Amino acid sequence: MPRAESTVLLVGTGVVGRAFLDIVTGNERTSRPDTSAITSARRVPVRVFRIANSRGNATLDDLPELLARSPHEPPVAIDDALLDALAAKKNAVLVDATASADVTPLYVRARARGIHVVTANKKPIAGPFDGYRTLFPRLREAGEHDEPRGKLRYSATVGAGLPIIDTLQKLVSAGDAVHRIDCVLSGTLGFVSNELARGTPFSRAVAIAKERGYTEPDPREDLSGNDVARKLVILARELGAELSLSDVAVEPFVDAHAPLDARLDAELAARVARHEKRGEKLVYLARIDVRKGGVVASAGPVGVAREHAAATLSGTSALAAFYTARNDALPLVVSGSGAGGPVTASALLADIAGLVV
């Protein structure tokens, strides 16, 4: 039987938004195109209702005209008439592929109309706890608010296409006690660590990462560790912890004010050599520790033993190793490509597939 169709309002036409459109319009560029009728018959059909960015919104046919407009500050709002028109469709979904911190009210307006929200945007899920509470009514006092009709899914916010949130949710719902999660959650910082281990000078490793489009426009954003900290907040909240960004102990990869020059290159090369002597690799490790007193989240550059799962990564891969009561001797490890448009768009589509009826 053919799968039910979903109707999507896509917000964001950057790396992720465009990869999403490439897939749903059949213009995906993969090394091995899908020739299997089985996969295409089982794929969830997506009808693109409208596409929005900071400049306004358009149909798929009018997208080139929308992209030709100048970026708008503040972004053009998505009005009630547009949401009402979307809500009239079956399996209506708002897909957020922006990095905006101001989308919580939009999610609330959409879900009140029965529109599902699927997001790659960490900011509303990792934002201040009050805003988070408005998105997850089960956390609020009983009877305080009506349950929104539209559901919210956010698998793509941690590890892009990797099933990190899904795995954590499964462990928790099966009653397994999570003791610790060790993660490498930044493609940029993972790449830089791997290059350092190969002897590449730090400033060169950062420059290559920037050239290849792995970093934020300003690589210091990645080096600060704040993006990783947001992902830890999302994971900690899955464990029921009322954690916020300011609760995460973040040590940046390098001092935010230090110039990325030869002095820093020498400092980091010496640090890598010290760890190597001890049989360790320098990695940017993000950790959740579940203790008697609560959940503790931290991120920073540390040496890990060569046998540790985080020491075995290459390129821009990401990882989450779950140490639980039932996965004690050997952690449950999820690892693979943790960044990029196609894998992130794939996670958005998988979330949509789980919502359509």
Ligand X SMILES: NC(=O)c1ccc[n+]([C@@H]2O[C@H](COP(=O)([O-])OP(=O)(O)OC[C@H]3O[C@@H](n4cnc5c(N)ncnc54)[C@H](OP(=O)(O)O)[C@@H]3O)[C@@H](O)[C@H]2O)c1
**Amino acid code (one letter) for 182:** D
97 or 319, CB closer to ligand X? Answer: 97
> What's the sign of the alpha-carbon dihedral 214, 219, 223, 226?
negative
Give how far Cα 116 sits from Cα of 45, 51, 72, 96, 103, Å.
16, 16, 26, 11, 14
Return d(Cα 331, Cα 34) in angstroms, integer: 33
Closest distance of CB 210 from ligand X, Å: 14
What tokens does 287 get? 């950790």
Q: Note if 281 is an active site residue.
A: no
Q: Find the part of the chain contacting ligand X (CB under 6 A) among 41-49, 80-88, 119-127, 322-330.
A: 119-127
339 binding ligand X? (CB under 6 A): yes
Tell me the C-alpha distance between 49 and 36, whole Å.
27
Q: Of 46-54, 218-226, 247-255, 328-336, which part binds ligand X (CB under 6 A)? A: 46-54
CA 126 to chain centre: 11
> Cα(352)–Cα(223) distance, rounded to whole angstroms?
32
- C-alpha to C-alpha distance for 230 and 245, rounded to whole angstroms: 6
Which of 45, 75, 114, 137 touches ligand X by CB under 6 A?
75
Q: Which residue is nearest to ligand X (CB)?
A: 14
- Residue 7 binds ligand X (CB under 6 A): no
Number of chain residues interacting with ligand X (CB under 6 A): 26
Strands (DSSP E) contained in 219-347 are 249-250, 280-291, 294-305, 317-324, 332-337
Q: Is 24 in the site for ligand X (CB under 6 A)?
A: no
In angstroms, the CA 262 to CA 328 distance is 43
From the candidates 89, 151, 210, 231, give the one annotated as an active-site residue.
Answer: 231
Out of 156, 183, 229, 248, the only residue in the binding site for ligand X (CB under 6 A) is: 156
Burial of 264 (0-12, 13-18, 19+ CB in 10 A): middle
54 binds ligand X (CB under 6 A): yes
Q: Is 160 in the site for ligand X (CB under 6 A)?
A: yes
| Beta carbon nearer to ligand X, 234 or 285 | 234
- Residue of 50, 55, 275, 287 interacting with ligand X (CB under 6 A): 55
What residues numbered 83-112 form the site for ligand X, per CB under 6 A?
97-100
- Of 41-49, 115-123, 279-287, 300-308, the window that binds ligand X (rule: CB under 6 A) is 115-123
* Interaction site with ligand X (CB under 6 A): 11-17, 52-55, 71, 75, 97-100, 120-122, 156, 160, 339-341, 344
Active-site annotation, residues: 231
